[in-house]
Homo-oligomer: A and B are copies of this chain.
Amino acid sequence: MSVSTLEGYHGEILRRLKIANAKIGDIIKITTNSGEVFEGALFPRSEYGNPDHIVLKLRNGYNIGIHYEKTETIQVVGEGQKPHFTKPPPPPKSAGLPRVAIISTGGTIASRVDYRTGAVQPALTAEDLASVVPELSSIALVEADILFSELSENVTPSQWKTLAEEIAKKIRTGIAGVVVSQGTDTMHYTSAALSFALQRLPVPVLLVGAQRSSDRPSSDAASNLTGAIALAAKADLGAVGVAMHQNLSDRYIVAHRGTRVRKCHTSRRDAFKSINSEPLAKYDLQTGQIAYSEDHPKRSMGHDLIVKPEFDQHATLLKFYPGFNPEIIDAAVKAGERGIVLEGTGLGHVSKYSYDSLRSAIKSDVPVFMTSQTIWGRVDMNVYVTGRDLLNIGVVPLEDMIPETALVKLMWVLGHNRSIDKIRQAMLDPIAGEITSRTSIMEEA
């Protein structure tokens, strides 16, 4: 990005900024006509931002957009801060430290912000990381690579395959653990995908991200990264997990099981929650101690890693609601989808108005599976008549599997099977803790 003196600003705003003799990067002070005063670095206006806003980066790390009509005075009070990074410490004598691979796929966890242009750049060489999070050098010998650089909402099932294969390569070099940085939006879909694609894992594979980018004072980037790398280096864990804040304090980083985790808040640091289960492990950033859940899969160098990285994205997740138009089911079948996961209501229901479309989908060899939009709990289609109707039609209940994991598993199952019977069966076979059967002989009345 080339930086002109007043990049992105036009018309009246440009005129006012020129009068003030302001340049991008300068520290400017704006007094609004309601008397508020804002001081910060002048940012270039983004192509997608409000064209009537002057954008400042405040000292507290927040950006603010101020409508030009609200500005009473604009004043340059200082030169722009030049981008600077602390000089990395000399490479540590790390002979005894475990080797951890960190693979970047995008996201802002390990990013440096150029304060002058506002551009976020990945900080992913070992030196960059050491400069951003100096304590890492005492935990592990980090080998960092950029695999791709994608906003997480744009990550595709074929990129899950690329990632799984890259992780497998790293593991085969005898690495102690792997950390994958990704944007948080779809991190739980990726963790589910890797949980199915990489079986009999000898070491931990931990997805990590940040809910607040690393240029903000409230950023969780450094603490998440430290926890993830420590767990990858030392935890007695042979599984895929998502390593993020346990709560709003900065003390514990938990590793959620890759198939049991979900982003449950748009912006909180503890947005990720284990559903119907406990996190596999918990790292104490203060003491360095690790606690485990009872049933966590253990690290074993003897494990023979199995890589099954195919995904067929012709699987559809449909959430049911009152007034749901069953033509959407017909359309999915017509569009060539090979399987459907329903997010039903309650114990696993959709309305009787969808029965015909479901019958016709199943008749067309498009298997249909049931999960619940309640998120927590377990579907049980033997309790009410609607559940029994749906079982009769051939809808397969997925017990306590969460909808997102069910969808990813279906894509993975479709990637490795053609036979409808095998697809149905494979969805119910537990692979990575994603499904547990009801143990009791009791039926709920």
Q: Identify the closest chain B residue to A441 (Cβ).
A: B64
- Digitize A371-413: 1 where CB-to-B-CB distance is under 8 Å, 0 elsewhere: 0111111111010111011011000000000001001100100
A325-B337 contact in complex given A216-B445, A266-B377, A445-B216, C-beta closer than 8 Å: yes
CA distance A137 to B316 in the complex (A): 51
- For residue A268, which residues in chain B have a CB less than 8 angstroms away from its CB? 376-377
* 8 Å CB interface, A22-65 against B: 46-49, 57, 61-65
CA distance A11 to B76 in the complex (A): 92
Query: Is residue A343 within 8 Å, beta carbon to beta carbon, of the partner chain?
Result: yes
* 8 Å CB interface, A316-331 against B: 316-323, 325, 327-328, 331
**Are B151's CB and A384's CB within 8 A?**
yes
Query: Is residue A143 within 8 Å, beta carbon to beta carbon, of the partner chain?
Result: no
- For residue A374, which residues in chain B have a CB less than 8 angstroms away from its CB? 263-266, 271
Query: Is residue A5 within 8 Å, beta carbon to beta carbon, of the partner chain?
Result: no
**Are B154's CB and A353's CB within 8 A?**
yes
**Are A322's CB and B157's CB within 8 A?**
yes
Query: Is residue A332 within 8 Å, beta carbon to beta carbon, of the partner chain?
Result: yes
Query: Is residue A184 within 8 Å, beta carbon to beta carbon, of the partner chain?
Result: yes
**Are A267's CB and B62's CB within 8 A?**
no
Query: Is residue A294 within 8 Å, beta carbon to beta carbon, of the partner chain?
Result: no
Query: Is residue A114 within 8 Å, beta carbon to beta carbon, of the partner chain?
Result: no
**Are A151's CB and B61's CB within 8 A?**
no
**Which of B263, B337, B386, B444 interacts with A151 by CB under 8 Å?**
B386
- Minimum CB–CB distance from A442 to chain B (whole Å) comes to 5
**Which of B151, B321, B346, B389 interacts with A317 by CB under 8 Å?**
B321
- Minimum CB–CB distance from A149 to chain B (whole Å) comes to 13
- Digitize A221-251: 1 where CB-to-B-CB distance is under 8 Å, 0 elsewhere: 0000000000000000000000000000000
**Chain A residues with a Cβ closer than 8 Å to the other chain, count:** 93
CA distance A321 to B193 in the complex (A): 13
- Minimum CB–CB distance from A334 to chain B (whole Å) comes to 8
CA distance A249 to B335 in the complex (A): 48
- For residue A386, which residues in chain B have a CB less than 8 angstroms away from its CB? 151, 153-154
Q: Identify the closest chain B residue to A400 (Cβ).
A: B266
A61-B445 contact in complex given A48-B388, A377-B265, C-beta closer than 8 Å: yes
CA distance A323 to B317 in the complex (A): 10
Copies of this protein chain in the complex? 2
* 8 Å CB interface, A289-330 against B: 311, 313-323, 325, 327-328
- Minimum CB–CB distance from A238 to chain B (whole Å) comes to 25
**Are A345's CB and B185's CB within 8 A?**
yes
**Are B352's CB and A154's CB within 8 A?**
yes
CA distance A145 to B334 in the complex (A): 45
**Are A379's CB and B266's CB within 8 A?**
yes
- For residue A255, which residues in chain B have a CB less than 8 angstroms away from its CB? none
CA distance A378 to B267 in the complex (A): 8
**Are B444's CB and A347's CB within 8 A?**
no
**Are A327's CB and B321's CB within 8 A?**
no
- For residue A327, which residues in chain B have a CB less than 8 angstroms away from its CB? 331, 335
Query: Is residue A443 within 8 Å, beta carbon to beta carbon, of the partner chain?
Result: yes
Query: Is residue A152 within 8 Å, beta carbon to beta carbon, of the partner chain?
Result: yes
* 8 Å CB interface, A181-228 against B: 183-186, 189-190, 212-213, 215-216
**Are A378's CB and B63's CB within 8 A?**
no
CA distance A335 to B49 in the complex (A): 34
Query: Is residue A131 within 8 Å, beta carbon to beta carbon, of the partner chain?
Result: no
Q: Top 4 A-B pairs ranked by shortest CB distance?
A: A48-B388, A266-B377, A331-B331, A313-B323
Sample of 13 further A-B pairs with CB below 8 A, known A156-B323, A314-B325, A331-B335 = A49-B382, A61-B445, A65-B382, A153-B344, A154-B351, A155-B322, A185-B347, A185-B349, A186-B322, A264-B376, A266-B374, A315-B323, A317-B319
27 contacts between A and B (CB under 8 A): A46-B388, A48-B382, A48-B389, A49-B388, A61-B445, A62-B444, A63-B444, A153-B346, A153-B386, A154-B351, A155-B322, A185-B345, A185-B349, A264-B374, A266-B380, A271-B377, A311-B323, A316-B325, A317-B319, A317-B321, A319-B343, A323-B411, A325-B332, A325-B337, A328-B328, A331-B331, A331-B332
